[in-house]
Structure 1
């Protein structure tokens, strides 16, 4: 494991110590978990954007999409716990 030095303002260092104590861990472990959590979020965001780009490219290729009204009705049925048939993508009239 490598070592990295970071300089923390005293106010932030005190906040970390207080939060770590409340969480029942050390300041070091609290900082490691915070960095790991931030890295996870950045990776998830990158995956989300890659998927969005892929789906948009597919839309541009096929011209097919699901109308919002159909998607909304499907989501409402699912939220209500009712069985719902997933709407199919199709080319939209202009």
Structure 2
């Protein structure tokens, strides 16, 4: 495991120490967990954007998408516990 030094403002250092104590963790493990959580959140955000770009490119190439009214109806039916068929992408007017 490598070592990284960070400089924390005194007020943040105190807040971290108090939060770690309340959670029953050491300050070190609390900071590691916070860094891991932030890193994972950024990785999920990156994956979300990459998927959005992939879908945008697919739409630009094919012109096919699920119309909003059909998707909304599908989602509402799922929320009610129904098992509707998945909507099918179609050529849409741009």
TM range (shorter): over 0.9
Instruction: Tell me the alpha carbon deviations over residues 31-83 of structure 1, each in whole angstroms, 9 at most, x when there is no partner.
Output: 00000111101111111111111111110111001111000000000011011
The reply to whether residue 44 of structure 1 matches residue 44 of structure 2 is yes
> TM-score, normalising length from structure 1?
0.96
List structure 1 segments (4+ residues) > 2 angstroms apart after TM superposition: none
The reply to whether residue 90 of structure 1 matches residue 90 of structure 2 is yes
The reply to whether residue 35 of structure 1 matches residue 73 of structure 2 is no
> TM-score, normalising length from structure 2?
0.96
Q: What is the Cα deviation at residue 93 of structure 1? A: 3.8
Counterpart for residue 56 of structure 2 = 56
User: Which ranges in structure 2 are unaligned for 5 or more consecutive residues?
Assistant: none
Task: Report how many residues are paired.
Answer: 94
Q: What is the Cα deviation at residue 30 of structure 1? A: 0.5
User: Which ranges in structure 1 are unaligned for 5 or more consecutive residues?
Assistant: none
